[in-house]
Amino acid sequence: MTVLERFLRYVKIDTQSNPETGAHPSTKKQFDLARTLLAELQAMGVEAELDAHCYLYASLPANREGLKTIGFIAHMDTEPVVSGKDVKPQIVRYLGGAVPLSPEKVLSADEFPSLNAYLGEELVVTDGSTLLGADDKAGVAEIMQLVECLTDHPEIPHGKIGIAFTPDEEIGEGADFFDVQKFGCEFAYTVDGGPIGEISYETFNAASALFLFHGRNIHPGFAKGKMRNCCLMIQDALNCFPAEETPAATEGREGFYHVEGMESGIETGKLSLIIRDHDKTRFEERKEFVRSVQAVLEQKYGTGSVEVEVKDSYYNMKEKIEPHMHLVENAEKAIRAVGVTPFRLAVRGGTDGSRLSFMGLPCPNLGTGGHNCHSIYEYVSIPSLEKGVEVLKNIVALYAEQ
């Protein structure tokens, strides 16, 4: 089976996660892909285990003594907001301009200039009604193709190779039940999204904030000095936040506050937002600012009118990777060997590797060739899928040499 055949097979399996269920995994259908992968691994003669929380672990024993262990990790779920059901991938050769996905939708280089890098190449695109699932089934397919290569060619020297496929990364829970001890590797790479050549070992520090508002309803004809309207309290809260520090107004290493949702009546209201910053000191200042908003509102509306809970989500993994920069340097060598110029990207988000690095598994991220993730305009070039496999093989070879 080729990496393309694997990818086309996997994207047709619906694995959307759901942040509302409170279950682990958040959706049972993620087991459909996990069981498919388990069967494929077992057919290759690879030792593998699927646990109750939908984490699939596999390992290839070392075939040479004294070599370091290394792992590769990808997530199986897709974005909850854009449909991942009945994905119908299409293969087109990109000749420039716009690619028709459906009668109503086109993938255009005017809107997505990244297409210009793939002129003359075959792309896998959507039919305009769903996402594609390259995030992260491209990573899954590339890792599985690596496993097949190593099992078919036992003469290739390597230390122990750990493989893991996780659920619920898209809802921030991909590392919740990850068993680092069972995985049994000194370090690893997540293989998750972005063009081939991308290496990410710097992420946001991340937190969530939830405001709860407690109002008081009084007949509007007699409300002066008595009514406390949560709708207006939310408005006042939003006015406290700087308009120039939102996702739509920031880039690079600039942090932000992002309002994710609100709901309100007069007596009760809720406002949820996330806090992001690459700089740890600035991150802590942002959290304190959120708490100060509560104080400002309570001064106006009264003690007990507003509650806020600030909860850390993950941290910038840079501090955990920098003592092990061989991970980045070897990835760069592996990428150059396939004719691609590597580049380091500070992620405006997080990966499973963010949390895994703080759990004792230093874990930078490698691009898979995917573009426009979480979108009906998602695509991946077929040569990029193939180069992704070669990059992983080169990393294995580099650690065998060392």
Per residue, what are the HEC states of the chain? Answer: CCHHHHHHHHHCCCCECCCCCCCCCCCCCHHHHHHHHHHHHHHCCCEEEECCCCCEEEEECCCCCCCCCEEEEEECCECCCCCCCCCCCEEEECCCCEEECCCCCEEECCCCHHHHHHCCCEEEECCCCCCCCHHHHHHHHHHHHHHHHHHHCCCCCCCCEEEEEECCHHHCCCCCCCCHHHHCCCCEEEECCCCCCEEEEECCEEEEEEEEEECECCCHHHCCCCCECHHHHHHHHHHHCCCCCCHHHCCCCCCEEEEEEEEECCCEEEEEEEEEECCHHHHHHHHHHHHHHHHHHHHHHCCCCEEEEEEEEECCCHHHHHHHCHHHHHHHHHHHCCCCCCEEEECCCCCHHHHHHHCCCCCCEECCCEECCCCCCCEEEHHHHHHHHHHHHHHHHHHHHC
198 and 259 fall within a common domain:
no
290 and 228 fall within a common domain:
yes
Region 233-262: what's the mean pLDDT? 96
82 and 135 fall within a common domain:
yes
pLDDT tens for 198-241 read 999 999 999 999 999 999 999 999 989 999 999 999 999 999 99
126 and 176 fall within a common domain:
yes
pLDDT of residue 38: 98
From 313, 331, 358, the end of a domain falls on 313
144 and 224 fall within a common domain:
no
pLDDT of residue 89: 98
pLDDT of residue 12: 98
pLDDT > 90: percent of the chain: 96
pLDDT band at 351 (very low <50, low <70, confident <90, very high): confident
Number of domains in the chain: 2
pLDDT tens for 38-53 read 999 999 999 999 999 9
pLDDT > 70: percent of the chain: 100
pLDDT tens for 123-140 read 999 999 999 999 999 999
256 and 387 fall within a common domain:
no
Q: Annotated catalytic sites, by residue?
A: 77, 169
pLDDT of residue 16: 98
Lowest mean pLDDT of 32-41, 70-79, 346-355, name the range.
Answer: 346-355
From 282, 313, 344, the end of a domain falls on 313
pLDDT above 90: residue 350:
no
219: CATH:
3.30.70.360
User: 260: domain range?
Assistant: 205-313
pLDDT band at 71 (very low <50, low <70, confident <90, very high): very high
Region 4-17: what's the mean pLDDT? 98
Region 300-326: what's the mean pLDDT? 95
Region 80-85: what's the mean pLDDT? 95
pLDDT band at 176 (very low <50, low <70, confident <90, very high): very high
Q: What is the mean pLDDT of the chain?
A: 96
pLDDT band at 172 (very low <50, low <70, confident <90, very high): confident
